[in-house]
Structure 1
Amino acid sequence: MDKPLQPIIIKKVKKAAHAHHGGAWKIAYADFVTAMMAFFLLMWLISMTTQEQKVGLAEYFAPAAVSPSTSGAGGVLMGTALDKSGNRPSVPRDAARGTTGLDDKALPNSSGRPGGREVSRPAADAQANHSAIASLRQALQKLPEIAELSRNIVIEETKEGVDVSLVDEDGRSMFAEGSVRPYDRTRLVLEAIAPTLRRLPNRLRVTGHTAAARPGSVGAVDPWSLTAGRALAVREILSGAGLPNDSFFSVVGRGDAEPVFPDNPYLAPNRRVTITLLNTDPPLPPNVFR
């Protein structure tokens, strides 16, 4: 008897593909390599720069000046300055490099002869001015009641030293209109910075400025007398707060001859009184009179 045909069973096994692991590790590794490269580059730059250059670089990236249309980082308490040219470094580029633009070998040393490696005069002035600015801001930060005056107090470094300006704003003035009498808030600011000014070696120049009269308006007060009187009022307040007479180099009024914004001399910020901390004179070489 024939055997029945047995069905042939064919088993097909499907092998599952390996799961895709993705490339996230590659991105993480690339970020790590980039971070390490930036770190070693930073360490190399730190080792190759002098202390004066480090200070200059720090000042270069500090927002030391902002445009007049915004309050920037918060006025004088946060390092802003009123300037129509926008952000700029508070330290001159030559000072940031730690030189006067000449080769270090051409700079005189303490003996008066070239070849010294001492800190150049502009760099020394920049460091002293940076310290003075920090001290003045710290003195003002101790008075929370003048926080609303942050846009009226401008501290910035200039070629001559450090300017501390009491600036008028629309709706808030530092002096009564057309008068040499300062407001109480103005007196409070001056009395707050007086102890710091007394400790610093800089001599002071007080300069009064005002805005130009608009065409067709009748000026009730002579601008020269007004600005000179306001400068004298500031000087008297500082003197009453303890500054000796020999701290002052000059007290002058400029009228409307030097506006902050020459394109619009009628703006309120052109009305200001500026106290300039003049750079100290360099010491004379010992053999200068021989």
Structure 2
Amino acid sequence: MPSAPVRKTGTWKLAYADFLTALMAFFLLLWLVSGVSPESRAEIANYFQPKDNEAAGAAAEAGPSEADRLFSALSQNPSLLAAGSSIMLTREPDGVRLDLVDTAERPLFDRASGHFTETGLALAAETGAALAGTEGFLSIEGHTDAFPSMAAQYTNWELSADRANEARRIFEAAGIAPARVKAVTGLADTRPLVPGQPHLPVNRRVSILVQTEG
């Protein structure tokens, strides 16, 4: 006959001993905490708080950054709002970028020329007036689409540089101090606004980075 299975005895005693040990440790912790001052308990609690919460708390106390305030102000500017899709605002790590973009319905630039149309002149002047009351250095970039220039001996490099300089002159006439302008660059069609579609009209633009940080 097969032998009867051996029953293990005493396992409950081990579990009970573990329970008593945990219970004693818990009461010991309560006894230790009861003798700690409220200030010390607060310090201990703060020590075990997640670091992300501390960073978030510090950021909340500091309030919005200068770039955040600038972005909010420009987003609510009536003149810029009236421009609709002809102007794009982007919050960047070190400031705010404004793109004055050409569209088929509302062209901002004369064809094969660095000059603005009347619509472009008005928008550039309104943008300059909006930025005149702000702080931060400006970097102005001129861009073209990927179609080659229609003028002989006048490439997209010259065209984009002329558009950037035209914007600089308009901004300074609108009240922006020349010392705030730190760069005026023509980038031709090397940085399309819509990657993969370099021939779109919106790639013809003047881009202004207002650097408020760094």
TM-score normalized with structure 2 length: 0.65
- Shift of the alpha carbon at 1:197? 1.5
Moved more, 176-185 or 217-226: 217-226
User: What is residue 167 of structure 1 aligned with on the other side?
Assistant: 101
Unaligned segments of structure 1, at least 5 residues: 1-101, 108-116, 282-290
State, as a whole percentage, how many aligned pairs show the same letter: 27
Distance in 1, matches of 2:105 and 2:119, equals: 14
Asked if structure 2 preserves the Cα contact closer than 8 Å seen for 1:135 and 1:196, the reply is no
Asked if structure 2 preserves the Cα contact closer than 8 Å seen for 1:136 and 1:193, the reply is no
The structure where strand makes up a greater share of residues is 2
Unaligned segments of structure 2, at least 5 residues: 1-50
Distance in 1, matches of 2:76 and 2:118, equals: 21
Q: What SS is found at the alignment partner of 1:119?
A: helix
- Superposition RMSD in Å: 2.7
**Larger RCO, structures 1/2 (Cα 8 Å, 6+ apart):** 2
* Structure 2 CA distance for partners of 1:212 and 1:246, relative to 1, 3 Å: same
- Shift of the alpha carbon at 1:134? 2.9
Cα shift readout 1:83-106 (whole Å, capped 9, x = no counterpart): xxxxxxxxxxxxxxxxxxx7476x
- Shift of the alpha carbon at 1:119? 3.2
Q: In the alignment, is residue 153 of structure 1 matched against residue 93 of structure 2?
A: no
User: What is residue 190 of structure 1 aligned with on the other side?
Assistant: 124
Runs of at least 4 residues of structure 1 off by over 4 A?
102-105
Residue from 121, 125, 134 that aligns with 2:72: 134
| Equivalent pairs, count | 161
Matches within 5 A, 1:1-290: 103=52, 118-119=58-59, 127-139=65-77, 141-142=78-79, 147=82, 149-213=83-147, 219-220=150-151, 221-281=154-214
Q: What SS is found at the alignment partner of 1:259?
A: coil
- Shift of the alpha carbon at 1:223? 0.5
Distance in 2, matches of 1:244 and 1:218, equals: 32
- Shift of the alpha carbon at 1:188? 1.8
TM-score normalized with structure 1 length: 0.49
Cα shift readout 1:71-90 (whole Å, capped 9, x = no counterpart): xxxxxxxxxxxxxxxxxxxx
